[in-house]
Chains A and B, each alone.
Chain A
Amino acid sequence: MIKHLDSTTSAKIANALIDIRKEAGAATTGAVLTLVIETDERHHYYALRAAREASRAHPSRILVVIPHPEQPFSGLDAEVRVGDEMGPGEAVVMRLNGDLADHADAVVLPLLLPDTPVVTWWPAESPVDPAGAPLGKLAMRRITDASGTHQPSSLAERLRGYSPGDTDLAWTRCTPWRSMLAAALDQLPTTVKSVKVTAEVDNPSSTLLAVWLGWRLGVPVTLSTDKGPGITGVHLGTAAGEISLTRPDGMLAVLSMPDQPDRHVALKRRELADLLTEELRRLDVDEVYEEVLRHITDHDVEAITEAAPVPAKKGTITVTAQPSDGPLGDQPAKSAEKVREQQDPAIDEAPAADDAKKAP
């Protein structure tokens, strides 16, 4: 059911939610958290769809905030969606017009579910200091997406603006790679001497993965770029020989280990809803992510850039080229912007390919 409320207030929205629930005969909500999404018109549909999908695993009240400061008159328009075709749970899409656009927290606060966690997600552009932003302040968990922004250099900003409880979907995208590599080393406990990561130009996930590997294994890492999609391969040089995990097509990877037959691994690039579901699974501080951010400025990463075979301006992760005491995160990155423009933000990095190959 969708109910439109124009020139409304938070209290009226809250009443509408209760009314709809009562009409449906259900007295309570099973939601375990409130998910606040701050975004723009262009991204809100995909974000909402992913959030509703994630709501199957983590029942949430979803509050979508779309600021419209360009509107001449201040006011709040809302769409209350409960039990519609998008999925379970309840969602409110709110458009904040005029001056109200600067006061999203005042609109959202009365609508938060009592005494349950609040998560704020910026699917596209995100504030420099998420925890300090009006909607970030309300949340215990703040999710950004370095791949969703027009500034691929934003990983460095992530560290500058980092507060415990921040996390980024670029990091979430690494999980399948990380778990497969960890599993490979479970099978073959050996000393890793070198690491090479290959990925698409301007892929923040590959930087995070490379930095994580460099930090955990204590070895230099080279990061080189190719056509993608996304991360295309990791090669670990070990005492026993080379372990490699390569995924040229974004779907099926091959794991090669010394003295063992090559094995196929399904390592599909995941959809936004899957990423969000993983993200909502644990709401405590992700210390590993924090540590990886810190290591971005460390020596391991200088090694990355030095060894990278492609010139920095062509799209190696330039953020890492900065001297550690210099200003971070203000590198020009026009080429990347063009790439981003063509992408559908709803899907993990390579939507067109995914859809085309989807099984009937």
Chain B
Amino acid sequence: MNAPAGYPHKGGSHPGFQLSQAEKTQLAHETAPDGAAANPLRDAADRRLPRIAGPCGLVMFGVTGDLSRKKLMPAIYDLANRGLLPPGFALVGFARRDWANQDFAEEVHQAVKEHSRTPYREEVWRQLSEGFRFVSGEFGDKQAFIELKETIDKLDAERGTNGNHAFYLSVPPKFFPGVVEQLHEVGLDQGPEGSWRRVIIEKPFGHDLASARELNAIVDSVFPPKSVFRIDHYLGKETVQNILALRFANEMFEPIWSRDHVDHVQITMAEDIGIGGRAGYYDGIGAARDVIQNHLLQLLALTAMEEPVSFDADAIAAEKTKVLSAVRLPDDLGTYTVRGQYAAGWQGGEKVIGYLQEDGIAPDSTTDTYAAVKLEVNTRRWAGVPFYLRTGKRLGRRVTEIAVVFKRSPFLPFTPTQTEELGQNALVIRVQPDEGVTVRFGSKVPGTSMEVRDVNMDFAYGEAFTESSPEAYERLILDVLLGDAPLFPRVEEVELGWEVLDPIEAYWAANGKPEQYTSGTWGPAKADEMLAKDGRSWRRP
């Protein structure tokens, strides 16, 4: 036999060759079969076989919402198109509309045609749409839930969903208690022996610690914790999962990933849009609750956590919980937290109105559309390294990134003039758009004199990859159907998030009001002052 020549090492940690979730779950399955005799067609060495969810259905509350139309329904179609949904998969819509099954199918059809990622294929649509049902009713209407139960029982008989159903609550949290209670009342929370029932909830998980606990209590009273899946769609993004690959599959980053070499970390999630039609949801919530409490703290956790002992759900949750419990607020909340509200301006050449002029917003609203905070992580690894988190609407451009900024070299064998244009080294994980990693370092400017200037080295995960890399929701919905939980924040993480944010919100409520910033800029001046006080400045992302 000829040994393969040319390429000495196998696979390795190249980002192009990460395990897909299907592969991961398959490997996980090998080690933990569900009690039954091992399937002879499954083989750990057979890495081509994706893990297809078992027979099941998904019940969606709030099918007429934006999220459902733009993300969830297309994601379900894309999963079907990739052959990852079980044969006989059923989708039940539940909403107030007076629809028949066909009207619902038509609605999904529109959504799929407009927003699906993979090409439309008639035969996939045909087999998928056979499993569509619609139940019309109010969220508190018992009769409608009885009808829902009948629909589900019928699906078990007609489509072979075998009693396995997930309930996706794509509805505002104020409806959770009603829906969950009704599910319990009519006995939908319990399937027949050997089947599962799961519930999927979306943020916001409360608006402070107390309300989050209340919400959890309601859900927990009906569903056991391991059946509750909290969606943070950021965690379904390839680039976010890549943080773990980058950190823990490589030798070259982890040794410098600590206070010895890191000066500070900046985590940014900027949007260029305003609140659009979401006044009702947004006003009174604000940027910090909407984004920092969940997305940004999750990104912080993944950036700062210690290496998990394995990649299973418990091990990752343990590390994230640990690091989130070590997050400390600055003593001086007045200086080290900033909030703002967008004012009218010209955003990218388009005239836009300010937050207070938006429809449905009171002219004296103190809701923050921009929030920036300085946090510290009290561990040996991170002591003294500030984590600056910021988020906002109507900022310069839409971007989410994590920038790990390194200390300056302790000694430079150059004269100050030679390194005048040398900044700090940085490693930037670009979460969206243009997914990838940028490394910034100094390089000699070509010429006869020695001058060092910053240059960027890019790894583009995006461009070529994005077209075929699955949407976050595809990944997350599949994980729910498989019962695979590593990418879902647990209740402890949600509560720790509120413990970080509650004192800040309390301080803001008692002191002053948000500073106005012109739409299309990078936020209020106070945010720049906050970093300037520490001798630092925000990156322009």
Residues of A within 8 A of B (CB): 28, 30, 32-33, 55-59, 88-89, 112, 115-118, 129, 131-132, 137-141, 162-165, 172, 175-176, 178-183, 185-187, 189, 192, 213, 216-218, 251-252, 255, 257, 260-261, 263-268, 277-278, 281-284, 286-288, 357, 359
The A-contacting residues of B in range 1-41, CB under 8 angstroms, are 1-7, 10-11, 14-17, 20, 36-37, 39-41
Asked whether B423 is an interface residue with its Cβ less than 8 Å from the other chain, the reply is no
Q: Are A178 and B49 in contact (CB under 8 A)?
A: yes
**Contacts of A251 on B, CB cut-off 8 Å?**
123
In the complex formed, the residue of B with least CB distance to A357 is B122
Residues of B within 8 A of A (CB): 1-7, 10-11, 14-17, 20, 36-37, 39-43, 45-50, 52, 54-55, 80-81, 83, 86-88, 120-124, 126-128, 130, 157-160, 162, 457-460, 463-465, 467-469
Cβ contact of B39, chosen from A55, A180, A182, cutoff 8 A = A182
Shortest B54–chain A CB gap in Å is 6
Shortest B39–chain A CB gap in Å is 5
- Given known pairs A137-B5, A266-B83, the reply for A261 and B158 (CB within 8 Å) is yes
- Given known pairs A140-B7, A282-B47, the reply for A182 and B16 (CB within 8 Å) is no
**Contacts of A137 on B, CB cut-off 8 Å?**
2, 5-6
- Given known pairs A178-B41, A266-B127, the reply for A282 and B6 (CB within 8 Å) is no
Mind listing 21 A-B residue pairs with CB under 8 Å? A32-B15, A88-B463, A88-B464, A117-B7, A131-B1, A137-B2, A138-B5, A139-B4, A139-B7, A164-B4, A179-B50, A179-B52, A187-B55, A187-B162, A189-B37, A216-B40, A217-B41, A264-B87, A266-B83, A268-B123, A278-B48
Q: Are A288 and B17 in contact (CB under 8 A)?
A: no
Shortest A259–chain B CB gap in Å is 9
Counting residue pairs across A and B whose Cβ atoms lie within 8 Å, the total is 167
In the complex formed, the residue of B with least CB distance to A186 is B39
Q: Are A182 and B42 in contact (CB under 8 A)?
A: yes
**Contacts of B47 on A, CB cut-off 8 Å?**
282
A165 to B468, CA, bound (A): 25
Q: Are B39 and A189 in contact (CB under 8 A)?
A: yes
Secondary structure at chain B's binding surface: helix, strand, loop or mixed?
A: loop
Q: Are A187 and B127 in contact (CB under 8 A)?
A: no
**Contacts of A261 on B, CB cut-off 8 Å?**
88, 157-160
Q: Are A176 and B16 in contact (CB under 8 A)?
A: no
Q: Are B50 and A59 in contact (CB under 8 A)?
A: no
In the complex formed, the residue of B with least CB distance to A212 is B41
Q: Are B36 and A189 in contact (CB under 8 A)?
A: yes
Cβ contact of B126, chosen from A162, A216, A260, A264, cutoff 8 A = A264
- Given known pairs A163-B1, A176-B83, the reply for A118 and B42 (CB within 8 Å) is no
A242 to B501, CA, bound (A): 58
Shortest B295–chain A CB gap in Å is 27
Shortest B106–chain A CB gap in Å is 16
A178 to B48, CA, bound (A): 9
Q: Are A164 and B1 in contact (CB under 8 A)?
A: yes
Cβ contact of B87, chosen from A56, A89, A129, A265, cutoff 8 A = A265
In the complex formed, the residue of B with least CB distance to A171 is B48
Closest 9 CB pairs of A and B: A264-B127, A263-B88, A32-B16, A263-B87, A182-B41, A131-B2, A57-B468, A59-B464, A189-B36
